[in-house]
Amino acid sequence: MKTETIYSRKISATEAKKNYIFILKNKLSVFPPEGNEFKLVKDELTKNVKIESYSCICRGPDRPHEHYFIRWNGLKAGDKVEIIKVEDNDEYLLKIK
């Protein structure tokens, strides 16, 4: 039996403008390690993507941290995305509602 792991979120205006999906730090375990490519499939489109990050001090200079994301074009603010991993292969399915 296949086990699925799902990551979901509502796309912000920043994500839509910069063409990426934020990945919350506590959900990184759903995905391969940062920098390792994996297949993300939406309908008939398959892209090789990876978790990337950038340094940030949005909580103040005394609390530096990383923000994690996957690049994906065509997102709109308010879109609800689901990324579904089926454990029997290395493809992740992307659903946008």
Measured on CA atoms in the order 47, 1, 30, 97, is the torsion positive or negative? positive
Residue 24 exposure: Cα atoms within 13 Å on the Cβ side: 9
pLDDT, tens digit (0-9, with 9 covering 90-100), for 5-61: 899 999 999 999 999 999 999 999 999 999 999 999 999 999 999 999 999 998 899
Whichever domain contains 92, its CATH number is 2.40.330.10
Tokens of 69: 């994301």
Give residue 76's domain range: 4-96
pTM, entire model: 0.88
Task: Give the total number of structural domains in the chain.
Answer: 1
Residue with tokens 């997102």: 75
